[in-house]
């Protein structure tokens, strides 16, 4: 939980990116949680990394768990907004799924800190983070619905070979492999786009995913427009 009450004067000049002190706290926490570990990071260390007094940090976040929850929620809130905006556009299901997967994978792959790796923290599995799990589950269901819609548009489903079952949440799980690839130094610079292409392959979509790239990019541009986030 956070508040908008201003904190005390800084100890030093601005050190972190962000338009508000709250953003700076999140950036510092994201770095420390992903590089030094959540348990090893105290609110004092976060405040020092920002250049503010520890009591000032509590004007923005009451606890370290609140900071972690904000970071985790940030990784799913954006894709959820994109999914809702895409649903309002007149798009074919393969384009919609490709666009969502690409946008989701892109933010997991290119964010300043590898926040997706924090999903694996044992602390995150507790009831304290129920709100984040509700958001993540909502995103998972969006993927499942879109995967089924893609299958419904395939005229003749393949009778042999592998085809993912939407109930297995294969595309959603595929997207969430990116934080592990990133942590291991694997993958390619265009891994998010490759992941979106692979999502359609897992569903045995008969077209060439590369043929969707332009339409998918245009859909994301439209979905990111403020008029589609109301």
pLDDT digits (tens, 9 = 90+) for 146-197: 999 999 988 776 666 678 888 899 999 999 999 999 999 999 999 999 999 9
**What's the whole-number mean pLDDT along residues 126-147?**
97
pLDDT (0 to 100) of residue 4: 46
Q: CA 130, CA 123: separation in Å to the nearest integer?
A: 11
**What whole-number distance in Å separates Cα of residue 31 and Cα of residue 226?**
29
pLDDT tens for 50-109 read 999 999 999 999 999 999 999 999 999 999 999 999 999 999 999 999 999 999 999 999
CA terminus-to-terminus distance, the chain? 24
Element (H, E) at 88: none
Predicted confidence (pLDDT) per residue in 196-213, tens digit: 999 999 999 989 999 999
Q: Where would I find the H helices in the chain? A: 21-35, 43-50, 54-57, 64-87, 93-110, 130-152, 170-175, 178-183, 191-202, 213-223
CB 135 within 8 A of CB 159: no
Whether 142 has a pLDDT exceeding 60, the answer reads yes
Across the chain, mean pLDDT equals 91
Number of neighbours of residue 134 by Cβ within 10 angstroms: 11
Quote the pLDDT of residue 19. Answer: 76
| Domain extents in the chain | 1-62, 72-228
Domain 1-62, CATH? 1.10.10.60
- Reported as a pLDDT band with limits 50, 70 and 90, residue 13 is low
| Residue in 139, 75, 102 with CA at minimum distance from that of residue 221 | 102
Residue 39, pLDDT > 60, answer: yes
């Amino acid at each position: 939980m956070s508040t908008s009450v201003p904190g005390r004067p800084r100890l030093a000049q601005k050190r972190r990116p962000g338009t508000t002190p709250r953003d700076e706290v999140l950036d510092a926490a994201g770095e420390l949680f992903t590089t030094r570990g959540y348990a090893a990071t105290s609110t004092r260390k976060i405040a020092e990394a920002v250049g503010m007094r520890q009591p000032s940090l509590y004007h923005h976040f009451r606890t370290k768990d609140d900071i972690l929850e904000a970071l985790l929620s940030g990784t799913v809130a954006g894709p959820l907004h994109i999914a809702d905006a895409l649903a309002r556009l007149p798009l074919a299901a393969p384009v919609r799924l490709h666009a969502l997967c690409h946008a989701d994978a892109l933010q997991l792959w290119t964010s300043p800190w590898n926040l997706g790796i924090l999903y694996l923290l044992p602390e995150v599995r507790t009831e304290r983070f129920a709100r984040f799990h509700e958001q993540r589950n909502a995103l998972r269901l969006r993927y499942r619905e879109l995967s089924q819609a893609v299958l419904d548009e395939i005229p003749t489903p393949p009778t042999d070979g592998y085809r993912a079952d939407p109930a297995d949440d294969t595309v959603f799980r595929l997207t969430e492999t990116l934080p592990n690839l990133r942590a291991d130094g694997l993958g390619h610079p265009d891994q998010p786009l490759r992941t979106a292409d692979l999502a359609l392959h897992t569903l045995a979509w008969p077209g060439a995913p590369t043929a969707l790239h332009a339409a998918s990019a245009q859909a994301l541009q439209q979905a990111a427009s403020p008029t589609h986030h109301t």
